[in-house]
């Protein structure tokens, strides 16, 4: 048992809590994580890590769902007054190339990658005294951005792990990559990092997500999950011909009618017999007045499948339906992919290995069974995991269990911050075991 890891993690609780609350207060959504990335860049650089940012981290052509240049510029100006460390806020970050990777090179040995997502959701946070972040003064000051899924905690855990591993550096061999990923919400960010090749040499890949403790029998860590749903997320823009609805209706081509036809037929899509499948239209917008035939309408929808193949079926059918609805009503349709993920499965032998590491090195933590650890959400960590597994590496997506004030993705979300210590312990113990110099003596 390496008691130093637990001791280091406990000693870092206060600083990790402060980081988590700082990230929470200045929440930033996908590709706008400029202040967050600058702080991570500064912290890793000062610790002595080799740091990769900007276009060297995210391949430009592979980014999707990037805000407009106007939104990027406005947010870059905003963070200048929010304490962003200016020497570490690069010009490429201001252009939406957010995210940071820290590399610790310890000579020959395995390559281990850890992933921590850092983006917030587009929610307006609760402003009631019953909500601890509001009551204690660290609720989001950026209206319309809120850490309602725990990524503020993930970022804080990652920086704590970076500190612990640097303390253990002389006992390690191999290369450790700490990936602080932008744009997980909406499945936007991972593909740009994968496309750059940063996972191509990884032997072991580990990610985690804070998850709610549901009962007294739940452990502190679930070392892997059996799967998640593949997904495609689209904006479909319908373009018609405007006309006066009373004077010249025959000259108009209603984009709203085309969009409405698409909505009805998307929700009527036959589900797939091969496994779980989902279709949802979440937003429809369009029109300028009751007496004007609208020339533009937009819908936002997603499809999901238990396997990548099922999702591809839904994806192709959804595109066909949108294009057909446009053509049927004399309109055109532009499909814009805003996010996507593949299905994923943790390697059973690797998650069992991790369970053994936790039980041996951190006996004060309880390990949950993985038998029912299915994840019917969608997560673009799947792109990273699948790339590692494609070349023979091992990957797992863990759960860090903790009590929560409300469900994730809600405006009153909060979590028990003791999970920060447990997360640091687990990640550091896994890396120490995989990369320890005396491993051959075990």
* pLDDT tens for each residue of 60-103: 999 999 999 999 999 999 999 999 999 999 999 999 999 999 99
Q: How confident is the model at residue 180 (pLDDT cuts 50, 70, 90)?
A: very high
Q: Among 325-329, 429-433, 437-441, which stretch is predicted with the lowest mean pLDDT?
A: 437-441
Distance CA 13, CA 133 (A): 17
**Amino acid 370: pLDDT:** 65
Residue 371 pLDDT greater than 70, yes or no: no
* pLDDT tens for each residue of 154-166: 999 999 999 999 9
Residue range 111-127: average pLDDT? 97
Residue 31 pLDDT greater than 90, yes or no: yes
**Amino acid 224: pLDDT:** 85
Distance CA 158, CA 177 (A): 11
What count of other Cβ atoms lies within 10 Å of the Cβ of residue 127?
A: 11
**Amino acid 437: pLDDT:** 85
* pLDDT tens for each residue of 334-353: 999 999 999 988 999 999 99
Distance CA 309, CA 329 (A): 31
Given a contact cutoff of 8 angstroms between Cβ atoms, the answer to whether 379 and 344 are in contact is: yes
Given a contact cutoff of 8 angstroms between Cβ atoms, the answer to whether 118 and 182 are in contact is: yes
Distance CA 120, CA 131 (A): 17
What percent of the chain is predicted at pLDDT more than 90? 88
CATH node for 3-228+344-441? 3.40.630.10
For tokens 């609780």, name the residue.
13
For tokens 């390559």, name the residue.
111
Q: Which neighbouring-strand residues pair with 230?
A: 305
Q: Among 33-37, 83-87, 156-160, 368-372, which stretch is predicted with the lowest mean pLDDT?
A: 368-372
Residue range 115-127: average pLDDT? 97
**Amino acid 442: pLDDT:** 52
Helix, strand or coil, per DSSP, at residue 394: strand
Q: Which of 227, 230, 226, 205 is nearest to 392 (CA)?
A: 205
Residue 405 pLDDT greater than 90, yes or no: no
Q: Which of 145, 90, 143, 95 is nearest to 119 (CA)?
A: 145
Would you state the CATH architecture of domain 230-341? 2-Layer Sandwich (3.30)
What count of other Cβ atoms lies within 10 Å of the Cβ of residue 17?
A: 17
Residue ranges covered by each domain of the chain: 3-228+344-441, 230-341
Q: How confident is the model at residue 225 (pLDDT cuts 50, 70, 90)?
A: confident
Q: How confident is the model at residue 440 (pLDDT cuts 50, 70, 90)?
A: low
DSSP 56: G
Q: Among 50-64, 146-160, 173-187, 393-407, which stretch is predicted with the lowest mean pLDDT?
A: 393-407
Global pTM reads: 0.92
Residue 173 pLDDT greater than 90, yes or no: yes
**Amino acid 406: pLDDT:** 87
Kindly report the average pLDDT of the chain as a whole number.
94
Q: Which neighbouring-strand residues pair with 235?
A: 300, 336
Residue 249 pLDDT greater than 70, yes or no: yes
**Amino acid 439: pLDDT:** 66
Residue range 376-385: average pLDDT? 89
Q: Which neighbouring-strand residues pair with 333?
A: 238
* pLDDT tens for each residue of 293-312: 999 999 999 999 999 999 99
Distance CA 24, CA 177 (A): 24
């Amino acid at each position: 048992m390496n008691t130093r890891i637990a001791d280091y993690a406990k000693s870092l609780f206060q600083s990790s809590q402060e980081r988590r609350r700082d990230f929470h207060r200045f929440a930033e959504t996908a590709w706008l994580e400029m202040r967050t990335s600058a702080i991570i860049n500064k912290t890793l650089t000062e610790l002595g890590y080799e740091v990769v940012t900007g276009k060297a981290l995210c391949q430009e052509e592979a980014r999707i769902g990037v805000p407009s240049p106007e939104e990027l510029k406005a947010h870059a100006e905003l963070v200048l007054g929010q304490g962003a460390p200016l020497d570490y806020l690069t010009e490429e970050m201001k252009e939406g190339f957010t995210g940071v990777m820290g590399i610790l090179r310890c000579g020959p040995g395995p390559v281990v990658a850890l992933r921590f997502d850092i983006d917030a959701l587009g929610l307006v946070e609760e402003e009631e005294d019953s909500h601890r972040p509001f009551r204690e003064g660290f609720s989001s000051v950026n209206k319309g951005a809120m850490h309602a899924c725990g990524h503020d905690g993930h970022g804080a855990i990652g920086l704590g792990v970076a500190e612990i591993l640097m303390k253990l550096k002389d006992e390690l061999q191999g290369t450790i990559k700490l990936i602080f990923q932008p744009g997980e919400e909406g499945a936007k960010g991972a593909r740009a990092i994968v496309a750059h090749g940063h996972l191509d040499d990884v032997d072991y890949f580990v990610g985690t997500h804070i998850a709610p403790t549901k009962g007294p029998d739940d452990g502190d860590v679930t070392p892997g999950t059996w799967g998640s749903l593949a997904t495609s997320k689209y904006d479909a823009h319908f373009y018609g011909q405007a006309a006066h609805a009373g004077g010249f209706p025959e000259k108009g081509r209603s984009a709203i009618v085309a969009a409405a036809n698409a909505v009805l037929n998307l929700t009527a899509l036959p589900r797939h017999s091969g496994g779980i499948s989902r279709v949802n239209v979440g937003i429809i917008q369009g029109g300028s007045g009751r007496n004007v035939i609208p020339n533009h309408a937009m819908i936002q929808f997603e499809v999901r499948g238990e396997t990548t193949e099922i999702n591809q079926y839904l994806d192709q059918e959804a595109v066909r339906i949108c294009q057909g609805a446009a053509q049927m009503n004399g309109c055109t349709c532009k499909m814009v992919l805003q996010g996507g993920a593949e299905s994923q499965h943790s390697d059973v032998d690797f998650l069992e290995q991790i369970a053994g590491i936790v039980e041996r090195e951190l006996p004060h933590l309880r390990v949950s069974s993985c038998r029912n650890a299915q994840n019917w959400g969608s997560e673009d960590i799947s792109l990273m995991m699948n790339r590692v597994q494609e070349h023979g590496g091992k990957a797992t997506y863990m759960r860090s269990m903790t009590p929560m004030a409300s469900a994730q993705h809600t405006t009153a979300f909060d979590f028990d911050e003791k999970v920060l210590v447990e997360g640091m312990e687990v990640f550091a113990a896994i890396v120490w075991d995989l990369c320890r110099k005396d491993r051959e003596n075990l």
